[in-house]
Chains A and B, each alone.
Chain A
């Protein structure tokens, strides 16, 4: 509904929050609490990344008294989270900034919401740490004591019916700045890889605690360079602990990432090798060299060739799509070939040979494609 808007003071604070918060936030829904001005949005659900998931908090402003500080309603499972009444650790720097952020609230200051959310989230982390620390499980207590020294670790206790069920950890891996490794890096947020470790809270009668569930998670933009789904996690031995497991994993990850970075140049050389045969590319991805488009002709038939190069290149051959510049669907879109992935290929070839073989293949394929374009197109 386009006639619904945030009043300027909320909108300014939200925009500042989105721009300056350390990870991407989302507003899930926004609505109005005013009887007479239902078009003025003054309450919304904010999704805040926490422990590789989101926490949902309702931020309640009041458009009827715009000078008043907003209130927050936490998630249904967090009824014991009272940021102003933390039993331990009250009076710290965070705590003070939290109190100040509300006690001298000003709706004219766009930074206020950011300060509030940051301080509340810090308190939330402390609260979850306390909850996890209170779980009666020897292995968890041990893992907590060894892992807490890692910077940026987050944890979350999920409750079953009346009893703790499992504890999730988000362990940031690798102390390296991946952004710096990519030349001319376009990423705005620092890219990170986390290991998600889920410990089931052990039943008292089970002697050997079951292995934790492990999963690698990366920030979304990293996927153009390196996919964590391709990483094979080292096996988890019985009686193992995180402190033993992490160094091996980090070592192998570090190796794989530097390899992934070096593969950018391999892809770049391949695109450069295409140039003598296809001419200058119409467009090419300059940072990660994952995509390139060329204009090709076969007689009077001109068409575009798209190269999609995976992070596994040269092990995996590029996928090709041809697109006619002369034939169109009745809807007005250009006719494209299906994705071509099965043409002669060897990862051991030189880049120039790869380019030549693709060129030869396309010389043959272009006539097929032309025929395909001239066939009556199936009506969608």
Chain B
């Protein structure tokens, strides 16, 4: 087996991401799990020191622990056993490696349980980290790959009288020692002080990315990334396609036409624009209604599912507990 295990120095997560993860977990009716996305970067921090007596204590391995895993997004399934079997093996349609959303690992959230990885969590982490790899960004070694070995465990305290309501601990799984190494989580609250690495926390999810770029060159484009040849062409093609979709909705009203709002033809043009807005509003309204009715359908289905579950799990009167001492 190729060595894809590189010990991390720490795990970084932005405050909002962690908060939304905890919110998601605490609003779910039961235990949930999900996947963690992000990227692994090699830190290029200066190790300059005025203490000449102590040379840098970086280990003898090629990878001194200056790797940081940054969690940018997560995907929360509304249940457990979502992408793995009760034995902890991955489902055949398990998450596939994807260059644009590197899978860092997974999380498990269970209420009122000890903050220790369970039997199944060990197996799942083991399967996940031995099946998938992805490249490390900014790596000194061009071929360095990272296996999704992160495991984030979220629990709530066993007793109600404890002052805090959530507990979490992050681990990196080491396939050789078959152990979970606890890692510190750095919660980065993005603000003026963090502008430098704001970009680290941009979500990398593979949602269909719709280019909202205007066709006329504007100041906005100047700092857009210069991609490599092939990728750029693909990107342009996609942008053109997206623009077509936009144009369809705009019904011929080009942004450039907005200039006609000034000057002599403004009076007639305003009427046309208002008409267009009205149509747009009507469209949005119908869209909202569509969403509303489908939401209602989903809610009905969820209610139905809950009823079905309750049939299975609700105690029926007269069923006594076994000795509980």
B110 in contact with A82 (CB, 8 Å): no
Bitwise, B285-323 to A at CB < 8 A (1) or not (0) is 000000000000000000000000110111110011111
A154 within 8 A of B: no
Closest residue to B28 on the A side, CB-wise? A35
- B interface: dominant SS: loop
A340 within 8 A of B: no
A80 in contact with B112 (CB, 8 Å): no
In whole angstroms, what is the CA distance A83 to B117 when docked? 14
User: Which residues of chain B in 89-138 are interfacial with respect to chain A, using CB atoms and an 8 Å cutoff?
Assistant: 110-114, 116-123, 126
A65 in contact with B315 (CB, 8 Å): no
A58 in contact with B323 (CB, 8 Å): no
Q: A76-B116, A84-B87 are in contact. Are A63 and B30 (CB under 8 A)?
A: yes
Contacts of B313 in A (CB 8 A): 7, 9, 37, 40, 42, 63-64, 66
In whole angstroms, what is the CA distance A26 to B325 when docked? 7
In whole angstroms, what is the CA distance A83 to B88 when docked? 12
Bitwise, A79-94 to B at CB < 8 A (1) or not (0) is 1101111000000000
B29 in contact with A102 (CB, 8 Å): no
Looking at A11-19, A168-176, A297-305, A370-378, the stretch in contact with chain B turns out to be A11-19
B86 within 8 A of A: yes
Partner of B314, one of A7, A14, A28, A76: A7
Contacts of B118 in A (CB 8 A): 60, 71-74
Most chain B beta carbons < 10 A, residue from A73, A79, A99, A103: A73
A34 in contact with B29 (CB, 8 Å): yes
A272 within 8 A of B: no
Partner of A60, one of B113, B314, B325: B113
Bin the interface of chain A by size.
Answer: 35 or more
In whole angstroms, what is the CA distance A80 to B110 when docked? 21
User: Which residues of chain A in 3-31 are interfacial with respect to chain B, using CB atoms and an 8 Å cutoff?
Assistant: 5-9, 11, 14-15, 18, 26-31
User: Which residues of chain A in 35-71 are interfacial with respect to chain B, using CB atoms and an 8 Å cutoff?
Assistant: 35-37, 40-43, 58, 60, 62-69, 71
B30 in contact with A5 (CB, 8 Å): no
B232 within 8 A of A: no
Contacts of A107 in B (CB 8 A): 312
In whole angstroms, what is the CA distance A60 to B178 when docked? 23
A62 in contact with B314 (CB, 8 Å): no
Contacts of A31 in B (CB 8 A): 112, 158
A11 in contact with B321 (CB, 8 Å): yes
Min CB distance A121 to B, Å, is: 13
A-B contact pairs, 12 of them (CB 8 A): A6-B319, A7-B314, A27-B323, A27-B324, A27-B325, A62-B80, A68-B81, A73-B117, A79-B180, A80-B178, A82-B119, A85-B126
Q: A residues bordering B, Cβ < 8 Å?
A: 5-9, 11, 14-15, 18, 26-37, 40-43, 58, 60, 62-69, 71-74, 76, 79-80, 82-85, 99, 102-103, 105, 107
A5-B321, A64-B30, A67-B312 known; 6 new pairs, CB 8 Å cut-off, are: A8-B315, A27-B325, A66-B309, A66-B312, A73-B117, A74-B118
